[in-house]
Structure 1
Amino acid sequence: MTSRVVFVSPATSPSLRQARFYDGDSIDGIGAAHARAAAGSLPAAARAVVSPSVRCRETAETLGLDGTAVPELGALDVGRWRGRTLEEVGAAEPEAVGRWLTDPRWAAHGGESVQDVCERVGRWLDGVQDGDGRTLAVVEPEVVRAAVVHALGLPAAAFWRLDVPPLTATALSGRAGRWNLGLGQPLAAPGTTP
């Protein structure tokens, strides 16, 4: 039996627009409008799940999904950097940022490593593969990256090479431990082209 998971990245929020490490903010007006326009464009699914973050829950609701929050699909914990911009952290801790971007096992910011999030999301994905029907998952961009790294057997260092734009769909389908990937499909109102 083939399993399908469609990962949907959240609509825009102030932290995303400011390149700030997510700190729990809501989706913004533009993001909400785009999500409302895309409502109804997602394929039917047996289940919907969401990252526990505010912006993922709000995006799911705006898309018309009643998703269950799944802790394993939570955002990458960036520890003491939460709420700060990458520019601020880079100015204050340039060596730490450099290490974070090049060493998937590094987590001296007090949160979790890229390797940790890839393994956490990978365990969840392996459990879904034995399920039936399609799963829609509204999740943080780093969860999409981690799922792709795991599904394709990529090294964790590839994590930062994967861009996940807001409100896009990334589809995985698989059977017997093998996944196929469909990347970055924009969500659009039915009958329109993005």
Structure 2
Amino acid sequence: MTSRVMLISPAVTEALREARFDEGCSLDASGLRLARAAAGSLPAAERALASPTVRCRETAAALGLDAADAVPLAALDAGRWRGSTLAEVGAGEPESLARWLTDPDAAPHGGESVRAVCDRVGAWLDSMAGEPGRTLVVAEPEIVRAAVVRALGAPESAFWRTDVAPLTAVELSGRAGRWNVRLGSPLG
């Protein structure tokens, strides 16, 4: 039996435009408009899920999905950096930021390391290998990155080398824990 998981990144928010660690930011008018325009472009699916963040829930609704919260796919916990821009963290804690971006086990912000989020998403992905049919998931970009890293069996250092644009889909298909990856299909 082949399982299919389509991971859809959320639409644009002010936090994304500002390179800010998200703190519950809603979609901006442009993001909402683009998500609504893409609503009819999704394939049929047996189930729909969403990361339990504001922007993922709003994107799922704008896409016309009645998505259940997928708690294992919660956003990476940025700890005390939540709400700060990348530039602010870089100016105030340059060594900590550099360590976080280069060491998958580092969590200087008091939140979650890259390895921890990859492990969490990898465990969820393993559980999906036995699910029949297609699952649509609106997930934070870091969750999509982690899924790609685990699906390919890549090292965690590949996490930061994977760009995830807003409102794009990554499709995983496989069985028995072996996944194939189709990257970056724009919605719409």
Q: Structure 2 CA distance, aligned partners of 1:70 and 1:41? A: 22
| 1:70 Cα offset (Å) | 1.1
- Does 1:74 find its partner at 2:108? no
Q: TM-score, length-normalised on structure 2?
A: 0.99
**2:31 aligns to what?**
31
Report the counterpart of residue 17 of structure 2 in structure 1: 17
- Indicate yes or no: 2:97 matched with 1:97: yes
Name the CA distance, whole Å, in 1 between partners of 2:74 and 2:177: 23
Distance 1:60 1:32 in 2: 10
The CA deviation string for residues 130-173 of structure 1, in whole angstroms up to 9 with x for no partner, is 11110000000000000000011000111000000000000000
Q: Following the alignment from structure 1 to structure 2, what is the Cα–Cα distance between the partners of residues 140 and 2? A: 24
Q: What letter matches 1:141 in structure 2?
A: P
Q: Paired residue for 2:131?
A: 131
Quick check: 1:167 aligned with 2:146? no
What percentage of residue pairs aligned between the two structures are identical? 65
> 1:175 offset after TM fit, Å?
1.2
* Cα distance between partner residues in 2 of 1:70 and 1:173: 19
Structure 2: distance between partners of 1:108 and 1:8: 29
Displacement of 1:182: 0.4
Q: Which residue number in structure 1 is paired with residue 55 of structure 2?
A: 55
The code of the aligned residue for 1:81 comes to W
Question: TM-score, with normalisation over the residues of structure 1?
Answer: 0.96
> Any runs of at least 4 consecutive aligned residues in structure 1 with deviations exceeding 3 A, and if so which?
none
Cα separation, 1, equivalents of 2:184 and 2:79: 28
Gap runs ≥5 in structure 2: none
Q: Distance in 1 between matches of 2:11 and 2:65?
A: 14
Structure 1 alignment gaps of length 5 or more: 189-194
Aligned residues: 188
Deviation at 1:40, TM superposition (A): 1.2
Cα RMSD of the aligned pairs, angstroms, is: 0.5
